[in-house]
Structure 1
């Protein structure tokens, strides 16, 4: 009787929300077409599941804005990007269980064939990989290829391109495709089969997900027949992306339909088996890790959030111009999947308005079906003793840990940072004050559930600030976004002035030898700006563009010319007047400082990963 009552509670809570199935359909049919038009999205498919019941299976807009073909949520197949990761987690958990590998067993011996560097001092486990806590750097670009003949196995890819680690396992949650790729590789080693086949054997086949696959070639007929294309704006019209192929399939390579994802949602939400098994289902959906107990954490394959007082699990995905979101409210037995076919990546690391579409659609469903069971309002917090002193240690510049540190991709994270300022009661990270209520834990000044946290011990400046489910690491002030534009502009102005002096015949040294470092660096800055402004970011996932390879040669030429010029200046130093010596030293200092700055951003040399 107790079990039946527990299963009835979610239905009672949903009934309390006041919006039934018909109400949800009415909201979606009214609001989603308007969102398509407002956010400039050609088409979308979505499904809403409650327990094992499909509440809504809908297609909106078109899969082909030129032909006007309507979206069919049962037939049309979309790439789901990182929404592949929950499917991978389920597959890996089943394979590991079948082969006796525990979630907390040390993988260092099993990973010995791969270039894991630096070697971890602490055990590295499947738990770390599935919760994004293994501490590897990211490498986004180069995971896709444009020709099927260029595909490589996971083993070959990881032997050549596994990024280095930047922190010990379990120290911080830092989202990274390669954590999931490594988990898929572990499953391959255990089972002696390719991951694509394991997913079909352990998950897709038993659930009847015939329109879902991790395969990049030799596609199942249902997938090949229903495959769609993604689109981007080109002038006043639409331009399709050519189909590409994902090497890192466990992280972002799956194709699926909304109808198929309903089967996966129902299996997770019902959690009575036969697949996934109840114990495995409970393990996958439970909170497994977090940067702080008071902050959202991670389940296996999912991130945590809260809505209306209820725990929400979600996963967003972006790949090849497609964008998807998978969301569950386990306590209510509610699940949503939505996918659309519009590129969201803009210039300079920004996003198109279409990036808001999936979040807006899932918000409509949550607002309609999730009752407000939030906690009672809390009074404004009072600071603890010593808050002002600790706040001065917390202050500084921090950058999102979800970034590469070993290749030119580090540049992508340049503006994904924040500046934390000390206040008398706590800190202000840029949008308002947080008051310290425990050492290292700060609450929004008006009260409520919003908190941020800092690591570090007594008397030490923290290395990280944790906000929501994310982490930001402390970085030098001269790499912060508030400093970078001014520094680049000042350096460019100095280099231009240097070239003007050379043109007028007043260099402290040989004319062209003096001009070459400035000419190369100024050309690099202008060329890089033009490249970042004009490149389709989606194309970078296939690897660096040829123009970048040319541009990266310019700082190397500048460094070589600078070395030669230093020798020439040393030989002619006695003949230079003090003004000439001062001008030469200043010019050298500017170039050396800028080369060091480029080196920090991995732009001095061919660091392509």
Structure 2
């Protein structure tokens, strides 16, 4: 157990955060598996101690942060971090930690050092949309196709997609498959081309279920660009950043020369310097900013749209932006416009997180207390550190009230109803891109019932039903909740939690289709059986030649060679799929195209399997006049038939991985 300056700050709740992070990484700009090789092992969990501390002076807060962040930098291989808090209309504290450039030991300066803030950029996009709504140029509740001329969103459902749907992640899009984070400016394509050619399928009616969508916010930003007549980056600069005096913030890529020298380097989990990350769809996450500038932005939102003498939104518009626009479940956090609720405290907390490959950020607002907090880390380990820091801050200064848990009547008889495998709505449903589906398969829950309680595999906690379809952690020591949603037939269709957040639902499905561990195990077992069979045939053939035994029928030899081709293709496909799934990130278009160049392999495998089926038929029925009788012994025919059946099952698995793209 880690100890922070004598204070055992890894409470039960904060350790649970690490567990959840290890299971889920839903809110990144791209489909990145967030890892930290230096994460401490999780062995024991200590009960929380929710004792509220008064947030009185900046020096007291600084001492609190000094007891946490420097240790995080060391323990999670993080080069640097930046922090700002505003309170009661003023800057309460701004401070940098560690290095912006570890090699030159350039310290992080909260006022000058730029960090990539990832999806926190979406709050600026939302402000831009709302400005045009105030100007009468946009309407939140009409079909977005009214604003599009170069391309149109397909009318898959009767209900049209609106800007309100886009800003609340409820448009009903599947996950986009084009690369969002690129490693070089040369890979950037025209914004309009990306959006027109990369329209994700509409997989559900709008305003029914949330599913985090970078494409949705990119489309909203594109509409700002189309209607305003100014490119998106320039609009944000002229209408938001300049009026607020955010002179060290930009959406431009690459950075302007006046700011590039102040940009922090990003680092991987081994503290190797990374590259500047180019965002292919700027409205979804291309902003770079300082903690000091983010303090100005937070002050503006808390002050209902104004900072000093400058106003970027009217009071009522800001109130609408920050209010709940999409309710996931009565007792769970919801979504505002470009912002969402965090259910961490008795206080209402809203904000947005942001993750790129190397940078991990979060901005939260506590409107009733007039407090805003921003923090960002410049290394891969910052994903865990960022989440833990905010958890520590909430526990220290804004802790939740934990009451007694009273299960509802008959809860023990209902628990089985909720068992199942649940997978994120932020996934690819269609056959758009080879291997795309598997990037999100790990983001799932398996829920089991035990003595009337629910247990999520990987989280050693139990949940009990206190209201119909609504569960809380059973001991009352945590602030963790799960709500199950029924479809029109009364069957459980999906769930929401307060620890994953409102921008993601998890849909109930079958693990044989989406369960990566089950499917991986099946593929490995099938390939092993195939390999052993081929090895047996090969060894037996060598022995037959050595002992000068009579050669097998030519058709039998052809059948074996056919299956060798079948196995080889299956193995190659599985290996390349594993390389894609286990890679930390597939960024550049060239890399994606290399993998997509293997799209022919699944079809070759399909043909090889058909060939194997034909040979299986002949094995039982014979062929031509001289081979009217079946070849092979009965055991040999059964063996070959089993191998053919395994090949057919593999086709089903490969199809579920979206490898057959027409």
Query: What SS does the corresponding residue of 2:147 show, helix, strand or coil?
Result: coil
1:339, CA displacement in angstroms? Answer: 1.5
1:161, CA displacement in angstroms? Answer: 0.8
Deviates more, 1:146-155 or 1:258-267: 146-155
Instruction: Say if 1:231 and 1:427 are closer, same or farther in 2 by CA, change over 3 A.
Output: closer
Deviates more, 1:245-254 or 1:192-201: 192-201
Matched with 1:127 is 164
1:444, CA displacement in angstroms? Answer: 3.2
1:269 is aligned to 2:302: yes
Please list the CA deviations of residues 76-112 of structure 1 after superposition, one character each: whole Å capped at 9, or x if unmatched. Answer: 2121111111111111111232134332223244357
**1:425-464 to 2 correspondences below 5 Å:** 425=452, 427-430=454-457, 431-447=460-476, 450-457=480-487, 460-464=490-494
Deviates more, 1:48-57 or 1:143-152: 143-152
1:367, CA displacement in angstroms? Answer: 4.5
Query: What SS does the corresponding residue of 2:215 show, helix, strand or coil?
Result: helix
1:471 is aligned to 2:473: no
**1:8-23 to 2 correspondences below 5 Å:** 17-23=54-60
1:418 is aligned to 2:452: no
Query: What SS does the corresponding residue of 1:299 show, helix, strand or coil?
Result: coil
Matched with 1:12 is none
Query: What SS does the corresponding residue of 1:483 show, helix, strand or coil?
Result: helix
1:84 to 98, 110, 121: 121
Q: Name the CA distance, whole Å, in 2 between partners of 1:55 and 1:255.
A: 22
Q: Gaps spanning 5+ residues in structure 1: where?
A: 1-14, 345-352
Instruction: Say if 1:420 and 1:308 are closer, same or farther in 2 by CA, change over 3 A.
Output: closer
Q: Name the CA distance, whole Å, in 1 between partners of 2:606 and 2:523.
A: 18
1:291 to 311, 325, 328: 328
Q: Name the CA distance, whole Å, in 1 between partners of 2:326 and 2:590.
A: 33
Indicate conservation of the 8 Å contact 1:397/1:477, yes or no.
yes
Indicate conservation of the 8 Å contact 1:43/1:341, yes or no.
yes
Query: What SS does the corresponding residue of 2:486 show, helix, strand or coil?
Result: coil
Deviates more, 1:544-553 or 1:279-288: 544-553
Instruction: Say if 1:30 and 1:434 are closer, same or farther in 2 by CA, change over 3 A.
Output: closer
Query: What SS does the corresponding residue of 1:138 show, helix, strand or coil?
Result: coil
Matched with 1:515 is 564
Please list the CA deviations of residues 421-478 of structure 1 after superposition, one character each: whole Å capped at 9, or x if unmatched. Answer: 2456463334444333433223333357643222225763221122222311112131
1:566 is aligned to 2:588: no
Matched with 1:585 is 641
Matched with 2:404 is 379
Please list the CA deviations of residues 523-547 of structure 1 after superposition, one character each: whole Å capped at 9, or x if unmatched. Answer: 33344435554x4x24436564566
Instruction: Say if 1:182 and 1:390 are closer, same or farther in 2 by CA, change over 3 A.
Output: farther
Query: What SS does the corresponding residue of 2:195 show, helix, strand or coil?
Result: helix
1:169 is aligned to 2:206: yes
Query: What SS does the corresponding residue of 1:463 show, helix, strand or coil?
Result: strand
Q: Name the CA distance, whole Å, in 1 between partners of 2:288 and 2:488.
A: 49
1:45 to 78, 82, 85: 82
Instruction: Say if 1:555 and 1:498 are closer, same or farther in 2 by CA, change over 3 A.
Output: farther
Instruction: Say if 1:412 and 1:67 are closer, same or farther in 2 by CA, change over 3 A.
Output: same
Indicate conservation of the 8 Å contact 1:173/1:471, yes or no.
yes
1:240, CA displacement in angstroms? Answer: 2.0
Instruction: Say if 1:115 and 1:275 are closer, same or farther in 2 by CA, change over 3 A.
Output: closer
Query: What SS does the corresponding residue of 2:533 show, helix, strand or coil?
Result: helix
1:225 is aligned to 2:250: no
Between the two proteins, the alignment pairs up a number of residues equal to 573
Indicate conservation of the 8 Å contact 2:250/2:289, yes or no.
yes
Q: Name the CA distance, whole Å, in 2 between partners of 1:390 and 1:118.
A: 39
Matched with 2:16 is none
Please list the CA deviations of residues 226-252 of structure 1 after superposition, one character each: whole Å capped at 9, or x if unmatched. Answer: 223212255xxx432222422210001
Q: Name the CA distance, whole Å, in 1 between partners of 2:185 and 2:109.
A: 27
Please list the CA deviations of residues 27-47 of structure 1 after superposition, one character each: whole Å capped at 9, or x if unmatched. Answer: 223432121111110111111
Please list the CA deviations of residues 252-275 of structure 1 after superposition, one character each: whole Å capped at 9, or x if unmatched. Answer: 111111111111011111226223
Q: Name the CA distance, whole Å, in 2 between partners of 1:421 and 1:281.
A: 42
Indicate conservation of the 8 Å contact 2:112/2:262, yes or no.
yes
**1:170-185 to 2 correspondences below 5 Å:** 170-185=207-222
1:503 to 538, 555, 558: 538
Q: Name the CA distance, whole Å, in 1 between partners of 2:464 and 2:489.
A: 19
Indicate conservation of the 8 Å contact 1:499/1:519, yes or no.
no
Indicate conservation of the 8 Å contact 2:616/2:644, yes or no.
no
Indicate conservation of the 8 Å contact 1:43/1:60, yes or no.
yes
TM-score (norm 1): 0.87
1:540 is aligned to 2:596: no
1:71 is aligned to 2:108: yes
1:297, CA displacement in angstroms? Answer: 1.1
Q: Name the CA distance, whole Å, in 1 between partners of 2:193 and 2:228.
A: 17
Q: Name the CA distance, whole Å, in 1 between partners of 2:117 and 2:178.
A: 18
Indicate conservation of the 8 Å contact 1:51/1:270, yes or no.
no
Q: Name the CA distance, whole Å, in 1 between partners of 2:197 and 2:366.
A: 40
Q: Name the CA distance, whole Å, in 2 between partners of 1:279 and 1:540.
A: 40
Query: What SS does the corresponding residue of 1:292 show, helix, strand or coil?
Result: coil
Q: Gaps spanning 5+ residues in structure 2: where?
A: 1-51, 542-555, 623-629
Indicate conservation of the 8 Å contact 1:496/1:522, yes or no.
no
1:313, CA displacement in angstroms? Answer: 1.4
